[in-house]
């Protein structure tokens, strides 16, 4: 009877840990917009985010990644390896929130626009085999 009680206690602890990790992920969903607003809202003399604000954002993203990995490990230890349902929605929404409310902001037009082609040498004359016009013979 002790073994079954022990197993039940472990299952309850794992379920509690899983619920806490999901709550942390949902909490981060609200933290990212709040942090972005706090970083970029200013009345006068704005110079963009400070280095410590960028570091804090990266720490928050690291906490999100750790929560997702720990949630997956907890599900795997409970022999439920797939995360379905509303936890998946919470993870997707929070990752979307982290991408949308980035600090520092990413100018997506610069990211998606390809670099201009390199300038071409207008004085180049192609050398064809058998033309006898090639430098060096």
| pLDDT per residue of the chain (137 residues) written in tens, 0 to 9 | 466 677 788 888 888 998 999 999 999 999 999 998 888 887 777 777 888 888 898 999 999 999 999 998 888 887 776 677 888 899 999 999 998 888 877 666 666 777 788 888 777 777 777 777 776 65
Q: Please give the Cα distance from 7 to 15 (Å, whole number).
A: 12
pTM tops 0.85: no
134: which 2 tokens? 């090639």
What is the predicted pLDDT for the residue at 137?
Answer: 56
Q: What is the pLDDT of residue 135?
A: 67
pLDDT at 75 (0 to 100): 85
pLDDT at 40: 82
């Amino acid at each position: 009877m002790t073994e079954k009680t022990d197993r039940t206690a472990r299952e309850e602890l794992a379920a509690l840990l899983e619920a806490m990790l999901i709550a942390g992920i949902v909490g981060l969903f609200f933290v990212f917009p709040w942090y972005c607003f706090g970083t970029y809202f200013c009345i006068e003399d704005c110079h963009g985010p400070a280095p410590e604000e960028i570091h804090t954002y990266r720490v928050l993203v690291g906490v999100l990644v750790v929560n997702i990995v720990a949630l997956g490990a907890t599900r795997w230890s409970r022999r439920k390896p797939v995360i379905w349902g509303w936890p998946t929605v919470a993870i997707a929404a929070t990752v979307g929130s982290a991408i949308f409310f980035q600090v520092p902001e990413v100018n997506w037009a610069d990211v998606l626009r390809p670099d201009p082609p390199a300038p071409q040498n207008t004085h180049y004359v192609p050398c064809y085999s058998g033309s006898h016009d090639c430098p060096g013979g």
